[in-house]
């Protein structure tokens, strides 16, 4: 086939998205003789005999079982403290399967019997209430696709002076996932209890052994917070708070208290242990930022990414995810020359508020060095910052809320590595 | 608490959706004393010691494991022929978890090694092509949330002269599910092969032992058909066509050929075995409808539904799903008196094209007889028909494409049963 003239849209190989990938360039789509229904191809064994019967509960192909969360070793000092990270470099689209949604636990995963679990609303309300799981199933619910991100996600990219050469999309940024969450608007339950005028905060407490507590301003609670009972259609998994969790769309994950058992309306925040000892952003001038809730405008190239390798020159699909805790994703730009020139990526999915959005752009790798970056802009005009600008602003003492641009270096051997640029 | 005056919106207990469920009516949200953080509640054991550590692959709570697909017994005459049905009455939102997505197989589930699998495009093209799985991963992809429904779903509701009193949402209608599908637009691959002007059909063949084949008109193929590689973010499961399937949004499920291995461009349809012996709608006048692709405008109340029971009078959340193979859902109405009066339901989710949409409405059950129904209208103005009108039009010889209104009868004991009304 004739080699097309490729329209360049930015430096170092970014090409117009109308170009079809593989068109005589990358070896994809090998030309073959036009025989009827491919009779020159060998019929594989799996076409020759019936396969397995339908089942009650599906499972993945053995060939796809390498897609696992990365979970740390059990913590002997801090039992149940830990996290598992989503395999972002292997996923496509925007939805994370429930079994691969990231986890972050402060005292492990309790095994809760929903028939014994209670949700209490008390404090500054006209009428304290207690709800069973069965009670809550009778309430109005809404279903929305939202990302969830740990406040500490991507922290290592700030914390480590030198870039981890083994870092992957999963190891560096895997504490973000996305699901369709179904739950009761928190405002519905609070209205039923009757919030008193002096109530400014909702103090939410989980039933795990950490008694994880977080304070949510009443404005958020009455806006889009929900008591989530279902995740991608089925009950939330134990690692996500079964039988119920608070869900604060767009906010740092720890505020979406799992195994939710109490909501106490208060005038002042109780300053829970976990929101003072953790999740406070200490600054170089000895001041601290507290209650820094929304996650920043952010994007990440998931392929090519750390520890992948390009086997030959040619056209690749550069793809990734973008999100904002404050709105929807309006634009994603990609650079192949470390941020000197940029081109608009194509948006390949929905662009819902506070959810992941999938982007891509074709890129022709010429066999030389390259630094791939992506930069998101949200519906409010917030633009994803560079690592240097975050460090200039906040220093290196805190590493929460890191939403800086990620750089993936490609060398002439085709190896892709985490770099700072 | 004081009992509110409920604004009625249709007969037999349908009330305005602004009414909060449980507000002193149904016993939900029991009033309690306002003690600090509920110290009068007994602290459960699971709050007293750390729980399980984070894991590499999540699983459901043991308390939620009753949510299973309903799979028939293995078929001794027709090995691998069969289906499994989604537990619609237990699911919420719109997304179906991959392990619970319905299946329909004609020769079981082949175990395919993606490294050995090929996709051939041949026939009336300028250049026949063969693609490996790795090749396809480099192509542009899009991600969209689409329902998938078997052509034979809900057939028993037409076929059986008397309603099955044991019928459930799952047993009667469980051959519909919904996922975010990620794949390569079929037009991209066909453009690369170069479709000749005389090509009217794309003949798609699967790699299973049934050699399942379906003919897709070139118009659909160039519109929104895709070669789907991922489902809710992860590779399609074996029961859904791993490593790849055709996906024709809104069309009867069997056209979305699983384990896709060949796409042959033809002038006339090959009239594959499965599209003549099956999936032809035979009519009472001895004529037949062939190539009846789009699924109808349809809705279904999933709760309350068959084999559920109402334990006490009071307010219930009536909820269900609606979809259309031709557009998005514009409106869902609900009746509690067998279709005499109707009220608009609330839309609780996204209303994307060719996807499930979640609806609900509060209903006060007064302890008497009721017949619950839902009726969908899509963005083109198509209205879901009654069972009687479908029988009047198409007779009872064919039961494909049944999208009639489902009726759930409630008796004074609170038992919910499949009925015809």
B391 Cα to chain A: minimum distance (Å): 31
Spell out which residues of chain B touch residue A101, defining contact as CB-CB under 8 Å. 58
- Between CA B224 and CA B274 the distance in angstroms is 23
Chains A–B, number of C-beta pairs less than 8 Å apart: 458
B402 Cα to chain A: minimum distance (Å): 23
Class of domain B118-166+174-289: alpha beta
B271 Cα to chain A: minimum distance (Å): 14
Residue B105's nearest CA partner among A54, A293, A122, A377 is: A54
- Between CA B241 and CA A394 the distance in angstroms is 49
Two tokens, residue A399: 């590493």
Q: Does domain B298-419 have CATH number 2.60.40.650?
A: yes
- Between CA B70 and CA B307 the distance in angstroms is 15
The model carries a pTM of 0.95
**Cβ within 8 Å, pair B113-A63:** yes
A 10 A CB-CB count for A72 gives: 12
Two tokens, residue A7: 């329209």
Residue of B84, B191, B237 with shortest CB distance to A56: B84
A 10 A CB-CB count for A40 gives: 12
Selected for mutation to probe chain A from B136, B203, B232 (highest A CB count within 10 Å) is B232
Which regions of chain B carry the CATH code 3.90.420.10?
Answer: 118-166+174-289
Q: What is the DSSP string of B45-109?
A: GGGTS--BPP-SS----GGGTT---EEPPP-SSSTT-EEEE--GGG--SSPPPGGGS-EEESS-B
- Which pLDDT tens digits describe chain A residue by residue (421 residues)? 344 567 888 898 888 766 555 444 444 566 665 554 455 567 899 999 999 999 999 999 999 999 999 998 888 888 889 999 999 999 999 999 999 999 999 999 999 999 999 999 999 999 999 999 999 999 999 999 999 999 999 999 999 999 999 999 999 999 999 999 999 999 999 999 999 999 999 999 999 999 889 999 999 999 999 999 999 999 999 999 999 999 999 999 999 999 999 999 999 999 998 888 888 888 888 888 889 999 999 999 999 999 999 999 999 999 999 999 999 999 999 999 999 999 999 999 999 999 999 999 999 999 999 999 999 999 999 999 999 999 998 888 888 999 999 999 999 999 999 999 9
Residues contacting residue A277 through CB under 8 Å, at least 6 positions apart = none
Residue with token string 């470390």: A338
**What is this model's ipTM?**
0.94
**Cβ within 8 Å, pair A129-B29:** yes
Superfamily of the domain at A118-151+177-289: Oxidoreductase, molybdopterin-binding domain (3.90.420.10)
- Between CA A256 and CA A264 the distance in angstroms is 15
Listed by number, the residues of chain B in 33-72 with a beta carbon closer than 8 Å to a beta carbon of chain A are: 33-38, 41, 44, 46-64, 67-72
* CA dihedral sign, ordered B22, B28, B29, B32: positive
* CA dihedral sign, ordered B240, B244, B247, B252: negative
- Between CA A291 and CA A309 the distance in angstroms is 41
* 3 state DSSP class of B36: helix
A 10 A CB-CB count for A360 gives: 25
* 3 state DSSP class of A419: strand
Phi, psi (degrees; rounded to nearest 5) at A253: -55, -35
Two tokens, residue B84: 């499994």
Selected for mutation to probe chain B from A18, A61, A76, A228 (highest B CB count within 10 Å) is A61
The answer to whether A299 and A375 are in contact (CB under 8 A) is yes
Residues contacting residue A106 through CB under 8 Å, at least 6 positions apart = A80, A81, A208, A210, A212, A274
- Between CA B240 and CA B102 the distance in angstroms is 9
Distance separating the N- and C-terminal Cα atoms of chain A: 38
């Amino acid at each position: 086939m004739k080699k097309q003239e490729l329209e360049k849209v930015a430096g170092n190989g970014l090409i117009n998205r109308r170009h079809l990938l593989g068109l005589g360039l990358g070896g994809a789509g090998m030309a073959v003789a036009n025989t009827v229904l491919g009779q020159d191809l060998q019929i594989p064994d799996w076409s020759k005999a019936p396969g397995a019967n339908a089942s009650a509960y599906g499972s993945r192909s053995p060939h796809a079982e390498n897609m696992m969360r990365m979970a740390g070793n059990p913590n002997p000092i801090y039992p149940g403290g830990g996290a598992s990270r989503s395999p972002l470099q292997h996923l496509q689209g925007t939805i994370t399967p429930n079994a691969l949604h990231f986890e972050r636990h402060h005292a492990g995963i309790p095994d809760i019997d929903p028939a014994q679990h209670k949700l209490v609303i008390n404090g500054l309300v006209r009428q304290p209430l207690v709800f069973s799981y069965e009670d809550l199933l009778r309430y109005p619910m809404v279903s929305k696709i939202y990302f969830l991100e740990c406040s500490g996600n991507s922290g290592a990219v700030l914390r480590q002076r030198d870039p981890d050469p083994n870092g992957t999309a999963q190891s560096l940024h895997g504490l973000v996932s996305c699901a369709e969450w179904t739950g009761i608007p928190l405002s519905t339950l609070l209205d039923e209890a009757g919030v008193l005028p002096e109530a400014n905060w909702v103090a939410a407490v989980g039933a795990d052994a950490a008694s994880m507590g977080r304070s949510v301003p009443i404005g958020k609670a009455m806006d889009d917070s929900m008591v989530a009972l279902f995740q991608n259609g089925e009950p939330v998994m134990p690692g996500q708070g079964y039988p119920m969790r608070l869900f604060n769309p767009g906010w740092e994950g720890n505020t979406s208290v799992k195994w939710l058992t109490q909501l106490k309306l208060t005038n002042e925040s109780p300053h829970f242990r976990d929101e003072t000892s953790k999740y406070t952003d200490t600054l170089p001038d000895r001041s601290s930022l507290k209650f820094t809730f929304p996650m920043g405008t952010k994007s990440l190239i998931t392929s090519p990414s750390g520890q992948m390798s390009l086997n030959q020159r040619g056209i690749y699909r550069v793809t990734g995810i973008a999100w904002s805790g404050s709105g929807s994703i309006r634009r994603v730009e990609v650079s192949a020359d470390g941020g000197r020139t940029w081109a608009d990526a194509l948006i390949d999915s929905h662009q819902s508020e506070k959810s992941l959005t999938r982007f891509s752009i074709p890129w022709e790798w010429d066999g030389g060095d390259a630094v791939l970056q992506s930069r998101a802009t949200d519906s409010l005009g917030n633009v994803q910052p560079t690592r240097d600008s975050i460090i200039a602003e906040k220093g290196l003492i805190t590493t929460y809320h890191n939403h800086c641009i990620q750089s993936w270096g490609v060398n002439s051997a085709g190896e892709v590595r985490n770099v700072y640029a």
